[in-house]
Structure 1
Amino acid sequence: MRIAVLDDYQDVARDYADWDSLPAEVAFFHETSTDHDELVRRLEPFDVIAAMRERTPFPRALLEALPNLKLLVTTGMKNASIDMAAAAELGVTVSGTRGGSWQATAELTWGLILAVTRDIPAHDRSVREGGWQRGVGVELAGRTLGVLGLGRLGSQVATVGLALGMEVIAWSENLTEQAAAEVGALRVDKDRLFRDSDVLTIHTVLSKRTRGLVGADELALMRPTAYLINTSRGPIVDEPALRETLREGRIAGAGVDVFGRDPLPADDPWREVPNAVLTPHIGYVTTGTYEAFYAETVEDVRAYLDGSPIRVLNG
């Protein structure tokens, strides 16, 4: 039995689970590839593949080219980049993991909000380069936090905003006034969310309905003093439109943890965008989350080898 652990960017996966407890040879891959032929060459020998979230897509064409594959484990209980129907047709079991803390992403959201509204990266750089204060930050108390998607994660972000003395407004297609009120937020329509938010943060899942949900028209409604935060999924936002908005100074700034391409190519236009704090999709990259993800991956493999697969996503 051979197991491939993919996209272990930081070379830490072996430290977060007891891989030696499995009767298998385990190989860890640290570099991502999206090239079909390269992935086939790399993965063809393996019986089991452990994927980290949606870093490596598994469309039908790739699954068909991996005849030895029997089990595909993904961290999390959803993975839009795996063709679940094709995997089932090909006899590949797909299992997930339930562990991991959604609160980690809520915490990073506030890290980005504070970083961009107080220009923390630039102040840090100024001190290191021999300078001192530069620019004037924005206090959050008394300002309006807009939450696009007031689910479990969005509600946590809203709660912190309330604690800081912010007014909280929210919108999503299915959000009710009562559900918003239970969090302490006011349910508004979509246009008002963009018009009235001093800080607008995105916490909705990526789907056909939400892809491109935040486009040029929505960005045009925002105040020139407003900030946009995205720790959800890159394609929810029209990225070229957001980059143009930032370059032209039509909003004050953005904090972005997620992108249409992950990891970003070296020459990606995001790397040259002003007025933005960029992080490399680290919303869930914490010790607690990795401990849960990788330990449950080992559990999934062991259960499959025992003949009783668990947390099956395509059964």
Structure 2
Amino acid sequence: MKKILVTATNYSKYCLEGKKILEDYGCEIVENPHDRPYTPEELKEVIADIDGVVAGVDTWNQEIFGLAPKLKAIARFGVGVDNIDLDAAKAHGITVSNCPGVNTSAVAEQAVGLILSLTRRIPFLNAAIRRGEWVRPMAHELKSQTVGFLGFGAIARNVAEKLQGFHPAMIAYDKYPNQEKADELGVRLCSLEEVLEQSDIISIHLPATPETAQLINRETIARMKDGVCLINTARGTIVDEKALCEALESGKIAGAGTDVFASEPVLPDNPLFAFEQYVATPHTSAETYENCATTSVVTAEALIAVFEGKEPVNRLV
């Protein structure tokens, strides 16, 4: 019997399809009892006899792998693997896979929701009217705005598709541009500098890498239009939160919406929460019934493939 640690949350509640696949294979499943990622200390207490992991956003590094002699596979419950030391995993003979493309629609919907929340000031107006205030600020319609994408992979393209009915101008920067997809969606590919300088709304869809760490900083913010709106459903490390605070305070950035933070779970004393024009959600973009069901199946099948000596889909190392 293989022992599987599931660090993604709410597994029995929303991931019954994948859970059944593992149980039918004869696996014993250890579920995350917390409504949050495991801390490193908590992982150390449970990892010693684990054969496979369905991983959330917990930190997986050399120290943890050194305490897991039986661990053969990690199937990331999502796309980003910046929380997993891939070199260390490879050194320990641990196969790592992820689920690219599965959560595309779910994350794209969240990005569009944050865009509308900011441009129409929905959270602010909801709070104001509940206080008995009848405030009616003006707003721009998206058809008069330019939406710029930093990164133009599957999620950004899905956002662009969803925004087509609102008729904004759309531009995008991508290190590996796909001209055919851009043409299909009416998106003009351009440089990073052009996206920063020409966009009324900037939506971030980049991976977390050393190259993208704090890409949004004082210098890049200074290149943006006054009154720009910034959306981040990618990774919190891409944005310098201190620089973002300064830009919100000065009005350089009129509004920011994020589903991700540099450190998660975020603490309630984060300075960003002082700004009413800041809208945040707790890394819930992918939390849909459909995404959880599909991802649970993909991760379960990836673990079983490794146990049977086969190549898992979306293997990274």
TM-score range, shorter chain: 0.7 to 0.9
Task: Check conservation: 1:246, 1:274, Cα contact below 8 A.
Answer: no
The match for 1:5 is 6
1:34-93 residue CA offsets vs partner (Å, 9 max, x unmatched): 6433321132232222102xx112111110122232332222466232223322332333
Q: Identify the range of structure 1 (55-64 vs 140-149) with the bigger mean alpha-carbon deviation.
A: 140-149
Alpha-carbon distance, 1:16 to partner: 4.5
* Structure 2 gap segments, 5+ residues each: none
| CA pair 76-37 structure 1, distance change in 2 beyond 3 A | closer
**Count of paired positions:** 313
The match for 2:26 is 23
SS in structure 1 of the partner of residue 231 of structure 2: strand
Task: Check conservation: 2:233, 2:258, Cα contact below 8 A.
Answer: yes
CA distance in structure 1 between the partners assigned to 2:134 and 2:43 by the alignment? 48
The match for 1:119 is 121
The match for 1:229 is 231
The match for 1:70 is 72
SS in structure 1 of the partner of residue 143 of structure 2: coil
The match for 1:266 is 268
* Structure 1 gap segments, 5+ residues each: none
SS in structure 1 of the partner of residue 253 of structure 2: coil
SS in structure 2 of the partner of residue 252 of structure 1: strand
Q: TM-score, normalised by structure 1?
A: 0.87
CA distance in structure 2 between the partners assigned to 1:307 and 1:218 by the alignment? 47
Task: Check conservation: 1:162, 1:168, Cα contact below 8 A.
Answer: no
CA distance in structure 2 between the partners assigned to 1:99 and 1:168 by the alignment? 22
Alpha-carbon distance, 1:163 to partner: 2.7
- Counterpart check, 1:106 vs 2:108: yes
Alpha-carbon distance, 1:285 to partner: 1.6
SS in structure 1 of the partner of residue 256 of structure 2: strand
Task: Check conservation: 2:3, 2:52, Cα contact below 8 A.
Answer: yes
CA distance in structure 1 between the partners assigned to 2:175 and 2:314 by the alignment? 30
CA distance in structure 2 between the partners assigned to 1:9 and 1:313 by the alignment? 25
CA distance in structure 1 between the partners assigned to 2:95 and 2:176 by the alignment? 33
Task: Check conservation: 2:8, 2:77, Cα contact below 8 A.
Answer: no
| CA pair 45-267 structure 1, distance change in 2 beyond 3 A | farther
SS in structure 1 of the partner of residue 142 of structure 2: coil
The match for 1:37 is 41
1:257 partner letter? D
CA distance in structure 2 between the partners assigned to 1:99 and 1:197 by the alignment? 26
The match for 1:249 is 251
CA distance in structure 2 between the partners assigned to 1:211 and 1:67 by the alignment? 32
1:264-309 residue CA offsets vs partner (Å, 9 max, x unmatched): 1333333334411111112222111111111222223333444435
| CA pair 231-37 structure 1, distance change in 2 beyond 3 A | closer
The match for 1:204 is 206
Name which of 144, 151, 154 aligns with 1:152: 154
| CA pair 71-170 structure 1, distance change in 2 beyond 3 A | closer
1:24 partner letter? C
Alpha-carbon distance, 1:8 to partner: 0.5
Q: Identify the range of structure 1 (145-154 vs 288-297) with the bigger mean alpha-carbon deviation.
A: 145-154
CA distance in structure 2 between the partners assigned to 1:21 and 1:281 by the alignment? 31
Identity of aligned residues (%): 29
CA distance in structure 1 between the partners assigned to 2:292 and 2:92 by the alignment? 29
CA distance in structure 2 between the partners assigned to 1:106 and 1:146 by the alignment? 14
1:12 partner letter? K
CA distance in structure 2 between the partners assigned to 1:138 and 1:98 by the alignment? 34
CA distance in structure 1 between the partners assigned to 2:316 and 2:115 by the alignment? 38
| CA pair 24-102 structure 1, distance change in 2 beyond 3 A | same
CA distance in structure 2 between the partners assigned to 1:179 and 1:302 by the alignment? 34
Name which of 136, 146, 156 aligns with 2:138: 136
1:267 partner letter? D
Task: Check conservation: 1:99, 1:293, Cα contact below 8 A.
Answer: no
CA distance in structure 1 between the partners assigned to 2:53 and 2:133 by the alignment? 49
1:186 partner letter? R
Written as runs of structure 1 = structure 2, the 5 A alignment for 1:143-182 is 143-175=145-177, 180-182=182-184
SS in structure 2 of the partner of residue 224 of structure 1: coil
- Counterpart check, 1:48 vs 2:52: yes
Alpha-carbon distance, 1:5 to partner: 0.7
